[in-house]
Amino acid sequence: MIKRLQKLFDELGSWEESKSLFKWIFAIGKDFKRYILGFLIINTTSMLISVGSAVAGRYVVDAATNFSTSLFFRYIIIMFVTTILSIIISSVSSLFSGYVNEKFAFGIRAKMFDRIQKSVWNKVTKYHSADILARLSGDIDTISQTIITFLPNVIVAGCQLVIVLVILIAYDPVLAVIGLIVGPVGVIASLTFRKKFSYYHTKLRESQSEYYSFMQETFSNIGVVKTFQLENDNNSTFNDIRNRRMKLVLKSTTLSNIMSALLRLVYSIGYVVTFSWCAYRLTSTATYVDPLSGEIATYTYGTMTLFLSLVSQLQNSMKSLGHIVPRIYSLIISSKRVHEITDLEAEKISDNKNIPSEISLCAENISFAYNDDDRLILNGLSFHIPVGCRVGIVGLSGAGKTTFIRLLLSLIKPTSGKLEYIDENGNSEIASPDSRRFISYVPQGNTLMSGTIRSNLLAGCPDATDEDMWAVLEKADAAEFLKKTANGLDTVLSEGAGGLSEGQAQRIAIARALLRPGSILLLDEFSSALDAETETSLMERLTSRLPDHTMIFITHREKIIDYCTDVLRLS
């Protein structure tokens, strides 16, 4: 049995990988043991009521055929009560399942979201954002539904199988044998299709990621789409993606329907055989020992009704057990995709919040290549940027300016050489995720988030007061236009800073950076959307009002260079 399981998991990956995944699955489910146990108790109660209702149904039929009015109404009341209880418990189970599923799924999403933010930059950026969103939604839902709902239901189905078999054996061992012969066919059928289930589940997840990725790229660049008149081309590409996905959906659905049809056929044959056997016993003079009274009894219509109901429950239990293999495949595949993200290497960040009043930057013989076999983007770069300097970083496209920024922000590490920050006492700190606390960064382009201008500014310093915010807005030459708006700091921005011009958005981004406590101001083409007059005004404000700040300008504009005390040319 163990070897068969190993072979099954090897089809999805190595046996060791599968064991590692199950350890991860167990770890994320550990905190929900009480909820899972509660769900088990609720569904087990529902199952026992269902079995009890079937037994009561036997006596209702027998009482009716024997014209026993008192017994008839007694057992009708029992059936009515069990039916009402079953409905109530089913509602409670559905409510409980929905709540716990969402709570469980949100817990995994929170961990995944946290890891995405704290992962090493060049590890997480290998994944398309839409692919990550697909994993955050569909894959986590699959994991949650399987662990919280499906697996407990399978345990209940197993218990129901045992209970029903015991009852059938007590009444008529032949029916138990019929059930045991017919039931495993469903499990065998699901094993037969296991490879196809695995293949289609994987491909459908991948196609969902492709689907989301294309839509997100289109919506994020809607201006480019319109400008280049790509609407019809994009519709054609979208239809191609849809058609490929529809083919997968059709094949997957066909496979499921074939399996369902086979199961229905097998279980229908089982039901007919059971019905025929019960009818035969009903017409014969066969007797049995009633397990409840211990007396010799003959087969009645009530007994036949009980047997048919129990065999139906037996088949339903077998159906649930028959879904184990494809659901386990889905669980493993989705877990792999989520675990792949949650297992990304995390940045090492300490709790050091100390920011020296003066900090300089020194690089010794830095080289960098994005891959071991790639050409060096930077080769033997050395420099020293003292406190209070204004340095212009210039170079042709491809010279390494973007790489230079990533090194300063410790998004990447030098292939060789050393980059360090030095405080006023001569203490040095090697560039790392911790050293980002020294830097206030103004990215290129529009980087504001949807929300209010206030919320965007508070990203720079959560404790900033209104007075602090207006002060930096003044320095960034953004206070004047913002005061003219109806809501000021509480002006709501849509996605992409909708409601502001590119130049206004850039100045808000500069103000956000100025709220940061770091004394090194890193500005990447910060004035690209500004007119010459505004650019000059802004540069004069920054250089005159922030004399103690070290400023690093990534720029193509000679006018910016005129304000710099030093220039570093990359080639």
pLDDT value of position 350: 82
State which amino acid sits at residue 56: A
pLDDT value of position 389: 92
Q: What is the pLDDT of residues 115-139, one digit of tens each?
A: 988 899 888 888 888 888 888 888 9
Distances (CA, A) of 403 to 10, 317, 559: 41, 60, 23
Dihedral of the alpha carbons of 473, 478, 479, 481, in degrees to the nearest 10: -160
pLDDT value of position 390: 92
pLDDT value of position 292: 67
Residue 484, CB half-sphere, CA atoms under 13 Å: how many? 5
Q: Please give the Cα distance from 428 to 436 (Å, whole number).
A: 14
In this structure, what are the phi and psi dihedrals at residue 230, rounded to the nearest 5 degrees?
-95, 5
Residue 178 has pLDDT above 90, yes or no: no
Identify the weakest region by mean pLDDT among 178-187, 460-469, 489-498, 550-559.
Answer: 178-187
The residue among 374 and 423 whose pLDDT is bigger is: 423
pLDDT value of position 354: 82
Burial bucket for residue 206 (CB in 10 Å: 0-12, 13-18, 19+): middle
Burial profile 442-476: b = 16 or more Cβ within 10 angstroms, e = fewer: bbbebbbeeebbbebbbebbeebeeebbbbbbbbb
Task: Record the tokens describing residue 494, joined without a space.
Answer: 């849509």
Highest mean pLDDT among 18-27, 141-150, 184-193, 261-270: 141-150
What percent of the chain lies above the pLDDT cut of 70? 92
pLDDT value of position 373: 65
Identify the weakest region by mean pLDDT among 105-109, 150-154, 300-304, 482-486.
Answer: 300-304
Burial profile 68-84: b = 16 or more Cβ within 10 angstroms, e = fewer: eeeebeebbebbeebee
Among candidate residues 421, 447, 425, 424, the one with its CA nearest the CA of residue 434: 421
**What residue spans of 344-447 are helical by DSSP H?**
401-408
pLDDT value of position 362: 93
H/E element, 326: helix 324-342
- Helices vs strands, H then E, count in the chain: 22, 13
Cβ atoms of 175 and 168 closer than 8 Å:
yes
Q: What is the pLDDT of residues 416-441, one digit of tens each?
A: 999 999 988 889 899 999 888 999 99
Highest mean pLDDT among 6-10, 189-193, 265-269, 276-280: 276-280
Residue 519 has pLDDT above 60, yes or no: yes
In 10 A of CB 274, how many CB atoms? 25
Residue 493 has pLDDT above 70, yes or no: yes
pLDDT value of position 465: 93
Task: Record the tokens describing residue 153, joined without a space.
Answer: 């239901």
pLDDT value of position 1: 43
Under DSSP, is residue 505 helix (H, G, I), strand (E, B) or coil? helix
Highest mean pLDDT among 208-222, 355-369, 491-505: 355-369
What percent of the chain lies above the pLDDT cut of 90? 13
Under DSSP, is residue 53 helix (H, G, I), strand (E, B) or coil? helix
Mean pLDDT of the chain: 83
Q: Please give the Cα distance from 192 to 274 (Å, whole number).
A: 26
Cβ atoms of 356 and 424 closer than 8 Å:
yes
Q: What is the pLDDT of residues 185-228, one digit of tens each?
A: 656 665 666 677 777 877 887 888 887 888 878 877 776 677 67
Question: Quick one: average pLDDT of 327-345?
Answer: 86
Question: Quick one: average pLDDT of 283-292?
Answer: 72
Burial bucket for residue 530 (CB in 10 Å: 0-12, 13-18, 19+): buried
pLDDT value of position 419: 93
Q: Is the dihedral of CA 199, 202, 205, 209 positive or negative?
A: negative
Residue 319, CB half-sphere, CA atoms under 13 Å: how many? 17
**This prediction's pTM:** 0.77
DSSP summary character for residue 346: B
The residue among 70 and 360 whose pLDDT is bigger is: 360
Q: Please give the Cα distance from 6 to 555 (Å, whole number).
A: 58
C-alpha angle with apex 465: 464 to 470, nearest 5 degrees? 100
Q: Please give the Cα distance from 485 to 464 (Å, whole number).
A: 21
